[in-house]
Amino acid sequence: MFEGPRYLVSFGPKRVPHCFTDVLILGGGLAGLRAALAVDKSLSVTVVTKDDLRASSSQWAQGGIASVVDPDDRFDNHITDTLVAGADLCHEDVVNSVVREAPQRIAELIAWGTKFDEHNGVLELGKEGGHSHHRIVHALGDATGREVMRAVIEQTRTLDNLELWPDTFTIDLLTFAGSCRGALVWNPAHGKTLVWARRTILATGGAGQLYRESTNPPGASGDGLALAWRAGAELRDMEFMQFHPTVLYIAGGARSLITEAVRGAGAHLIDRDGQRFMPEFDARAELAPRDIVSRAITVVMHRTHHANVYLDLKHLDATMVRRRFPGMAEICAKFGLDLTQDRIPVRPGAHYMIGGAKVDAYGRTSLPGLFAAGEVTSSGLHGANRLASNSLLEGLVYGARAGEAASAEVLALSKKADFEAEAFQVPSIVSAKVVSREGNDGHQTLDLADIHNSLRSLMWRHVGVERTAESLAEALETVEGWCRYVLPRQFPDPQGWQLQNMLEVARLMIRAGIERRETRGVHFRSDYPATSDQLRTHIDWHRGSDQPRLEPLATALRPRASGAEA
Ligand SMILES: Cc1cc2nc3c(=O)[nH]c(=O)nc-3n(C[C@H](O)[C@H](O)[C@H](O)COP(=O)(O)OP(=O)(O)OC[C@H]3O[C@@H](n4cnc5c(N)ncnc54)[C@H](O)[C@@H]3O)c2cc1C
């Protein structure tokens, strides 16, 4: 396998401006901001985001946050639902602790001013695929992320110790003497800057943009996964990309997600001939977990030779539909569709990256000095398939833990430790081969947009809902070829760095898909349709080693419990 350079660009520590902060947080979505709020007020915090704070997946979240709130629900129910969806690959201790922490995190959001939807003065709870009870706390009908982020952003604005750097791209993590020391960032106003940090928290979100069909915002290009990889942190379960079953499919239109809650409210999935098909695939019909619904839709699309299936809400009360899903009704209306009366064309799209930087219960990665939280991680919560509305929850829980733990580590450092002096010990990183996109050294100019689009199409066709040894091998050969001439180049701005990150992450996702010769959760190998007991293991990747490490799970999935406490 062709290995690219450790750093994407060359830099000389004596020629680049330096900044110093106690805790550096890369990413300003829910996980990053929740981490910032957990850092001790005596420490300085810098939050770097590559775009505006409102451009994250957190901001786009629709359905809500899962939490046991209803007195008739039980923690054990939520735990069991999460374990069952996770296809025997969740860490039960992680699931247990996250589920039990959820009500506290929701209460905290309410205390910070989040206005969740209520009915007669109590929280209105939605139900989504894979959940046995109504437990999805939501806001603004179907715009939960917008309201939660409004409140959390306002809360972070009260912090005197926080500095926010928007529109600033993190190029690479800085490592020195075996640990993470901050990051090299870039923005158009200041160029490259070395941000030295006593602790760094990676919260850069997911990688849905690696696929042509995706629900994710443009920035979800897997940068954090590539940064962690190049810096030497262990990545885990990279084959598990969750596809959301119902993404609005209108040629030329945005790929808007149609929240699971629509099916929770009773919508049916029908084929081109108007036949409802989900009961044929699963007893839970439209409320089966996402992997099952996505796969069923793919089968029906093949069977009917049609580019999509449809959501049908005609039989539901139109007033309720408009009240619960105002955002979706508005988007449909823009394309001349009435959500309450018309068949709404949908198909699956890449939605949530389950794999990521391996973290412990405090958000520590395998690289000393580097923490991580949110979608960029593999915490053990989701197993091989994330349960709906568990990811905002994970971001809140692990954001808080990573912020607290990073903060505690900084406070425990000897006051004499002078990390500023280190800045000048780091040798210049000068790539052996400095080649730019313009090809001024005789190389041909690269059309980055062309490679970007080709990569996304390739991933959709060959590494999508359904995979085979053949499709994966072809994808690997192609991506490996692109890596050979794109990774060694140096680019002047984020378009090139982002493409390099996407290629690196795509390659890992494909290799992981090849390794997992079974079907489990979101990973559907049509040439290995059964789940294998031998592969009840994580697949861990470490830069510098061509072979992955298998990490078997210790405990067996416990039987369905009746539950005792709420
Ligand atoms: C349309 C949609 C609907 C969803 N609905 C739900 C839902 O109802 N419930 C639920 O639980 N989950 C939902 N999810 C998933 C959930 O929103 C995400 O998993 C979660 O918000 C991720 O939070 P995060 O903080 O980890 O990352 P994000 O919120 O994605 O934040 C990532 C941050 O990292 C920054 N960043 C990335 N790369 C760089 C870089 N190179 N340099 C600097 N900054 C960088 C970005 O600018 C951004 O600020 C949904 C996702 C989508 C896309």
Digit-coded pLDDT (tens) for 44-89: 999 999 999 889 999 999 889 999 999 999 999 999 999 999 999 9
How many Å apart are CA 214 and CA 256, to the nearest integer?
8
414: confidence class by pLDDT, cuts 50, 70, 90: confident
The pLDDT tens digits for 11-33 are 888 889 999 999 999 999 999 99
What residues contact 435, with CB distance under 8 A and at least 6 apart?
Answer: 441, 443, 488, 489, 490
Q: Are residues 454 and 515 in the same domain?
A: yes
Place of tokens 């084929």: 271
The pLDDT tens digits for 281-322 are 999 999 887 888 999 999 999 999 999 999 999 999 999 999
Q: Is it the case that residue 556 has pLDDT exceeding 80?
A: no
Residue 122: inside a domain, yes or no?
no
Q: Whose CA is nearest to atom 20 of ligand 1?
A: 58
The CB of 137 under 6 Å from ligand 1? The reply is no
- Please tell me the total number of residues recorded for the chain in this structure: 566
The CB of 214 under 6 Å from ligand 1? The reply is no
The pLDDT tens digits for 217-255 are 999 999 999 999 999 999 999 999 999 999 999 877 777
Residue 131: inside a domain, yes or no?
no
CATH of the domain at 500: 1.20.58.100
Q: Are residues 259 and 316 in the same domain?
A: yes
Output phi, psi for 399, to 5 deg.
-60, -50
- State the chain's mean pLDDT as an integer: 92
Q: Are residues 224 and 328 in the same domain?
A: no
Q: What range does the domain containing 169 cover?
A: 18-61+139-240+354-411
CATH of the domain at 327: 3.90.700.10
Residue 254: inside a domain, yes or no?
yes
Q: Are residues 344 and 270 in the same domain?
A: yes
**C-alpha 460 chain-centroid distance:** 17
- Determine the 3-state secondary structure of 467 from DSSP: strand
What pLDDT does residue 418 have?
A: 64
What pLDDT does residue 289 have?
A: 79
What pLDDT does residue 564 have?
A: 30
The pLDDT tens digits for 380-404 are 999 999 999 999 999 999 999 999 9
Contact 351, 376 (CB under 8 A): no
Output phi, psi for 512, to 5 deg.
-65, -40
Nearest to 512 by CA among 481, 477, 457, 550: 550
The pLDDT tens digits for 121-159 are 999 999 888 899 999 999 998 899 999 999 999 999 999
What pLDDT does residue 439 have?
A: 47
Place of tokens 């359905």: 63
The CB of 524 under 6 Å from ligand 1? The reply is no
Residue 80: inside a domain, yes or no?
no
The residue type of 380 is: G
The pLDDT tens digits for 483-514 are 999 999 999 999 999 999 999 999 999 999 99
Q: Are residues 366 and 386 in the same domain?
A: yes
Q: Which residue in the list 290, 324, 347, 401 is annotated as catalytic?
A: 290
Q: What token pair was written down for 280?
A: 């044929």
Strands 370-372 and 241-248, sheet pairing: unpaired
Q: Is it the case that residue 325 has pLDDT exceeding 70?
A: yes
How many Å apart are CA 98 and CA 364, to the nearest integer?
16
Q: Are residues 53 and 185 in the same domain?
A: yes
- Least-confidence region, from 240-254, 413-427, 443-457: 413-427
Q: Is it the case that residue 565 has pLDDT exceeding 60?
A: no
Q: Are residues 385 and 474 in the same domain?
A: no
The residue type of 285 is: A
What pLDDT does residue 421 have?
A: 67
The CB of 35 under 6 Å from ligand 1? The reply is no
Q: Whose CA is nearest to atom 10 of ligand 1?
A: 389
Q: Is it the case that residue 563 has pLDDT exceeding 60?
A: no
Residue 497: inside a domain, yes or no?
yes
Task: Say whether 295 is catalytic.
Answer: no
Q: Whose CA is nearest to atom 4 of ligand 1?
A: 61
How many Å apart are CA 35 and CA 399, to the nearest integer?
4
* 532 CA from centroid of ligand 1 (Å): 32
**261 vs 161, which has greater pLDDT?**
161
Alpha-carbon distance values, 385 to 236, 244, 291, 502 (Å): 14, 11, 7, 22
CATH of the domain at 367: 3.50.50.60
How many Å apart are CA 327 and CA 329, to the nearest integer?
5
Q: Are residues 404 and 477 in the same domain?
A: no
Nearest to 481 by CA among 459, 507, 463: 507
Q: Are residues 254 and 335 in the same domain?
A: yes
Q: Are residues 165 and 194 in the same domain?
A: yes
Q: Are residues 252 and 231 in the same domain?
A: no
Residue 84: inside a domain, yes or no?
no
Q: Are residues 324 and 375 in the same domain?
A: no
